[in-house]
Structure 1
């Protein structure tokens, strides 16, 4: 999800987003029958509200706050709450035997003794609301605070992403303009660790309705170029890479992007590399689903991604249906890329339609020189899918009805424009199965409860 800027005790807090020659057999088997039974029940008309872990840490360190804000959310038309229990720091907000537990944030230490997630589950269920736990997967540190397992656990330091930048190979912990210390999704030990946390979570809370995975992706197109990734990629294509990383891409000495950065020049294995990365994420999604359904067959298995599908390949993710073939439209996709779509594996999919412009007709107003698009894989353009309406329509189109889709808004983008916020919520509901709102902290800070209710109920 997005990063959040908040004032905390007078300080600014950054809180919290060509076919292969010899490919291995693609894992394209259909998900279990459970995916088609709609464990969400009535999927149309549901409204999801996020509760970010760090932005709300102090507020929800008190049990009466949980009860109070759930009641306000219910009154505003929220049907589902998504509680962030594993933020980008790699810590968790519940008693874990595996991951480090966050008891302090931004100088505030939690003193009230209660289980946060249990409180959310019990109070929300009294109100007839559904509770999902959100976990950030392939990230294990907050770069701006040098906090998290990749900084404090020597055994996990080498898990961090190695990025191929125009200045050379850089460990992501040294790239302080990035707030998420992402790890390498292809490493078996990383996948095993993250799966163990998910399984512990679902086992510990049998009354939890669902999980929503976040950051099940690579950091960006620059990641990961470690020797481990090279070897795994070579195994996938069945041959050695003669010139690594140049056979994937190089940086032009002359050509510049619109941002003035050296332009990437695709190499002969660029498309195969994109395909392989999508397979890495696809296979993890299917494995996570299978493992969690063993523990709780009724669990709602969900995922969040950004909505900018035409550029989302940069983070190694194909969230479309397997029935959608992007190679018919986009030059970066191989004919095999469609096999690594994973919409069929999900019971719930929520996407960030994070644009100020709501209607497709507003796309003409986009100023690409000033637009704020800093999320992973986001590009700059004026296509109509850079609007709430256009992105929601695209999400519905390419998921092919395989999973309920909830288009989402980032509340902070509408500060000073409450009517645009209401309009965006109504558009999400009109063009997808419902609305997702990120994050409650902005609704609280702006006092937009009436606006939220209008957007979710009118």
Structure 2
């Protein structure tokens, strides 16, 4: 029976490989900046873990060079440099990214830089650009909560101090960092943008956003913010949509769409061979809450979702990408397991815009299928896993990896720190090779 199951799964992998033959098969491993700060402040440690990654079947590594604090891990002249984290000081005798690129290339692996774009502060540590630079403190997003307008640095239940993506000064600052990074490392294979989005549905309600929206809508908002939405009464007041709610969603999505295309043009001008990538969540039915339409422009969400306007389709951006990796962050792997989703699984969904339902797309298989359906082959898709969700369940992790390979162009694993801490190198190798 086991041989039959393995044969069927091999056929499934082979079939998907044939379908996605136009896209390169990749197994991508993420190296988070702060979680691995001490580990990758040592050159020998970088080499050791690249060897481990290569042996497991990893083809591409993603080095996080701009974590949520807005500081960077390379010698920038624009952004503050992170030379210390959690009491650990970085060894300044070598450049981490230069070592990553040289050593990975020697092993036949590709290297991408990751940058957290529209965020510049760590709320749990009161650290980062919006905390240390008074001139940039005004860039933080202003949230419309039931208790009123609240700057995100005052929302200590959230660790990311997100910025207002609509502000032109924010966009130009973040773009200048991206351009500097690409110029500094011409041998780098790619860049993957992260947090190119709004904080959530409650953001951003600053005066700047109101003015920009009014310009887009070509009319003043008479009742602010009630014409966008308001709150009902009760212990957990629900949002009540206003007459401009859908238009507001449309405009926010245009903001993100335009930045994605502007950044691509600027970075490709510097390095035409650069792989231009993006990371988002896979939960498209609720991802409008963060102002992102990662689908293909050939897909019309207005036919399927009540929150989409007729113009929402225009602000899709899959066609802009050379690489698209998604968070298929669910413990349940197969669609058949959706019926078994319990409150414990739902409580683990802490990502922005992630819903609480039990539909098929709240599984690894279902979410991967949905992403491919909406991207329509316009960009290679790499289904991603959050390793920590499988803690104590190594076989479920292996099963999830195989599912990512079966239903996308490979797999993305976040993060190496969890593989190290749980000692799951054999499980990683099995999931990527069996």
TM range (shorter): over 0.9
Query: Which residue among 392, 408, 412 is the counterpart of 1:416?
Result: 392
* SS of the residue 2:232 aligns to: strand
Contact 2:190 2:274 in 1 (8 A): yes
Q: Distance in 1 between matches of 2:429 and 2:350?
A: 29
Q: Distance in 1 between matches of 2:313 and 2:60?
A: 31
Q: Do structure 1's residue 364 and structure 2's residue 339 form an aligned pair?
A: yes
Q: Distance in 2 between matches of 1:428 and 1:262?
A: 38
Alignment match, 1:75: 55
Alignment match, 2:7: none
* SS of the residue 1:303 aligns to: strand
Alignment match, 1:92: 72
Contact 1:44 1:433 in 2 (8 A): yes
Q: Does the C-alpha gap of structure 1 residues 405 and 59 become closer, same or farther in structure 2, counting only changes over 3 Å?
A: same
Query: Which residue among 398, 414, 418 is the counterpart of 1:442?
Result: 418
Q: Distance in 1 between matches of 2:93 and 2:39?
A: 14
Query: Which residue among 271, 284, 289 is the counterpart of 1:296?
Result: 271
- Return the offset for 1:340: 0.3
What does 1:16-415 correspond to in 2, within 5 Å?
43-254=23-234, 261-368=236-343, 371=346, 372-415=348-391
Contact 1:282 1:341 in 2 (8 A): yes
* SS of the residue 1:211 aligns to: strand
Name which of structure 1's ranges 46-55 and 105-114 shifts more when overlaid on structure 2. Answer: 105-114
Give the TM-score normalised by structure 1. Answer: 0.89
Q: Distance in 2 between matches of 1:455 and 1:446?
A: 15
- Return the offset for 1:261: 2.2
Q: Distance in 2 between matches of 1:277 and 1:116?
A: 36
- Return the offset for 1:335: 1.0
- Return the offset for 1:267: 0.3
* SS of the residue 2:398 aligns to: helix
Q: Distance in 2 between matches of 1:226 and 1:107?
A: 36
Give the TM-score normalised by structure 2. Answer: 0.94
- Return the offset for 1:387: 0.2
Alignment match, 2:12: none
Q: Distance in 1 between matches of 2:95 and 2:176?
A: 20
CA displacement 1:8-35 (0-9 Å, x = unmatched): xxxxxxxxxxxxxxxxxxxxxxxxxxxx
Contact 1:396 1:405 in 2 (8 A): yes
Q: Distance in 1 between matches of 2:172 and 2:25?
A: 36
Contact 1:84 1:133 in 2 (8 A): yes
* SS of the residue 1:95 aligns to: coil
Q: Distance in 2 between matches of 1:240 and 1:408?
A: 42
Contact 2:330 2:345 in 1 (8 A): no
Contact 1:285 1:342 in 2 (8 A): yes
Contact 2:140 2:151 in 1 (8 A): yes
CA displacement 1:335-389 (0-9 Å, x = unmatched): 1100000000000000000000000000000114662211100110000000000
CA displacement 1:114-144 (0-9 Å, x = unmatched): 1010000000000000100000000000000
Indicate the RMSD between aligned Cα atoms, in angstroms: 1.2
Contact 2:72 2:82 in 1 (8 A): yes
Q: Distance in 1 between matches of 2:51 and 2:429?
A: 13
Contact 1:321 1:402 in 2 (8 A): yes
Contact 1:368 1:382 in 2 (8 A): no
- Return the offset for 1:91: 0.3
CA displacement 1:251-275 (0-9 Å, x = unmatched): 0114xxxxx6211010000000000
Q: Distance in 1 between matches of 2:253 and 2:340?
A: 33
Q: Distance in 1 between matches of 2:389 and 2:349?
A: 11
